[in-house]
Structure 1
């Protein structure tokens, strides 16, 4: 593993191979890993496409999959890379009717655009947890009738429950022209919804949780392109949006500490995705990326190459060359190259509280 940290400062292919080294080091599961994911487009492996029939066209998926899989990226997402670090199959969306899977390695409830509020709008976090409860009840019902290759009670109890949500709650509030103070006032309610989800899953027998905080919202090219007031920091990101994201993350960290003391026999790991992504933008050149605030797949040219009328995959879009070193794929989501770096940083444990390895849940 020696040299991985320094390798990132050279070129993209080097840290891709470095990720592989980290991934292979984490494949020592004693039992088959089961993962359940709740969240938004950062983790959606095809939920929007299968749940609403919403078309997500090429060039999404052009890298690795060589076809559109419903992921908003040119290739794999962070959750895909984390699953591969366990030698596990990629997670299938819960609503994918023709997947042919029996969900033995878990299921993905994350859907593009999801937020915590309002609670009963598909596919809010609350709805995703309700879907999970239905999925669990039906699976156990079938297991008791002798159906094989389904997750049993032990599988649900030993699974990892990954939650990555909140970005859209903040982004939607700003998009509705709420003031900074009004956006901040909404944070406690969003945090309560995440707490409620954790407690609800805990009551269903979940004991192992992995919670991602939200990234630097003010560095997303879409947000930068559409913002009317440009209060930019030294990196060219919107200060107020990032400040809101940091306050949300502080509240989520505090909430995670509280849940840890309340849910005595549970393990809850909080991961600082904000620090990872902000570092990626700050040190883009060191990691082999250029123009960290420019979109690979979009329209309009510098400074952001984002036009809300001509988004990635829609008529008239332009896309960077394969292998070009971009951080942003479409203005909101990262390229596979950026996701690879983010996943490797997550696996390093340097951004986790407490510092527990990602594969902790699949050991006896």
Structure 2
């Protein structure tokens, strides 16, 4: 499994799970109660994250025994952490907003189910555990998927056939959320991210093309972005449906396409000089991306200042871009329903 992609239907089959326990319990007062989200004074946020490499805090490296070296992690951690980034991911900034520790990676969903079952078993025996039954129910389950799945499809199929693959993918997601692992196991609070602006990835832009007719005014590929928008529209509708069908549950859908496309379209506003060029890659301008030579290749070139770049390795964002994206998520302006990210906790 490469940094550029992972197996399709990641959520349903090879979930990366991370658990965060609050070490500093500073949660701002809740807004008006909405749906299943609730908070009480002195409450402790609990977050479980399911996602692909965009929110992987080290699961792929652990599962595959993959050695990840510098420059990964150079901007913040100053050493590799298993993240495909020069520093923090979007999920890291979201955790910071709750004053909780960064997420620790687990390998697969079965580890989550074992952890939960074992915790409840110990509670029944009168022992203390990091999370109790109410904690599992009140926790926020974040789901960040789609980019690798749609990316892989677009690499091998024409647009119409890619769109035709959306219904079964969405059906798998619905089954995973509603029946297979989450809701039927007591989960009630879900925060689901759509896919990003795939047509703005240097990985895709570096593919040879006959002409420039598929490029939009910002230099992104219209076909890839059209597929991302179509997928997100279907995913958003699915989230609306789940909000109706799942009793006492809240499902928040966040449009990451709009957020990530704005990183390119409004790059100057955020201080980015090279919105379509990879910071860590090979080949030089305009994209500095070569499919055969990743950021981890010995002859890869690395930019001096990652804060001037949107893309870290051609697929994943730099820490600077992740910070902007996280701020947009926290604003709730791109979410439906418009619920603040901190409007949940462990009672």
In the alignment, does 2:127 pair up with 1:184?
Answer: no
Give CA-to-partner distance per residue, 1:275-314, whole Å, 9 cap, x none. Answer: 0111111000121101200000111111100112221121
1:27–1:87 contact (8 Å) kept in structure 2: no
Superposed, 1:272-283 pairs within 5 Å as: 272-283=255-266
- CA drift of 1:162 comes to 0.5
Which residue number corresponds to residue 198 of structure 2?
Answer: 217
In the alignment, does 2:137 pair up with 1:137?
Answer: no
In structure 2, how many angstroms separate the alpha carbons of the residues matched to 1:300 and 1:26? Answer: 46
Which residue number corresponds to residue 255 of structure 1?
Answer: 238
Q: 2:47 aligns with which of 30, 35, 44?
A: 35
In the alignment, does 2:97 pair up with 1:85?
Answer: yes
- CA drift of 1:233 comes to 1.2
In the alignment, does 2:321 pair up with 1:338?
Answer: yes
In structure 2, how many angstroms separate the alpha carbons of the residues matched to 1:363 and 1:53? Answer: 34
Give CA-to-partner distance per residue, 1:303-334, whole Å, 9 cap, x none. Answer: 10011222112110111113541100000001
Which residue number corresponds to residue 205 of structure 1?
Answer: 186
In structure 2, how many angstroms separate the alpha carbons of the residues matched to 1:85 and 1:159? Answer: 16
Gaps of 5+ in 2: 1-24, 30-38
Which structure's residues are more often strand, by fraction?
2
Paired residue secondary structure (2:276)? coil
Which residue number corresponds to residue 305 of structure 2?
Answer: 322
1:219–1:237 contact (8 Å) kept in structure 2: yes
Paired residue secondary structure (1:359)? coil
TM-score (norm 1): 0.81
How many residues align? The count is 308
1:143–1:150 contact (8 Å) kept in structure 2: no
In structure 1, how many angstroms separate the alpha carbons of the residues matched to 2:268 and 2:85? Answer: 21
- CA drift of 1:26 comes to 6.1
Superposed, 1:169-180 pairs within 5 Å as: 169-175=149-155, 177-180=156-159
Closer, same or farther in 2 for the Cα pair 1:239/1:323, shift >3 Å?
A: closer
2:44–2:346 contact (8 Å) kept in structure 1: no
TM-score (norm 2): 0.85
1:129–1:197 contact (8 Å) kept in structure 2: no
In structure 1, how many angstroms separate the alpha carbons of the residues matched to 2:120 and 2:144? Answer: 26
1:162–1:211 contact (8 Å) kept in structure 2: yes
Q: 1:312 aligns with which of 286, 295, 300?
A: 295
- CA drift of 1:210 comes to 0.2
- CA drift of 1:149 comes to 3.7
Superposed, 1:116-135 pairs within 5 Å as: 128-135=108-115
Closer, same or farther in 2 for the Cα pair 1:208/1:330, shift >3 Å?
A: same
Structure 1, 144-153 or 329-338: larger mean CA deviation: 144-153
Paired residue secondary structure (1:93)? strand
Paired residue secondary structure (1:226)? coil
- CA drift of 1:25 comes to 9.7
Closer, same or farther in 2 for the Cα pair 1:254/1:323, shift >3 Å?
A: closer
Indicate the RMSD between aligned Cα atoms, in angstroms: 1.8
Closer, same or farther in 2 for the Cα pair 1:166/1:250, shift >3 Å?
A: same
In the alignment, does 2:145 pair up with 1:165?
Answer: yes
Superposed, 1:58-97 pairs within 5 Å as: 58-95=70-107
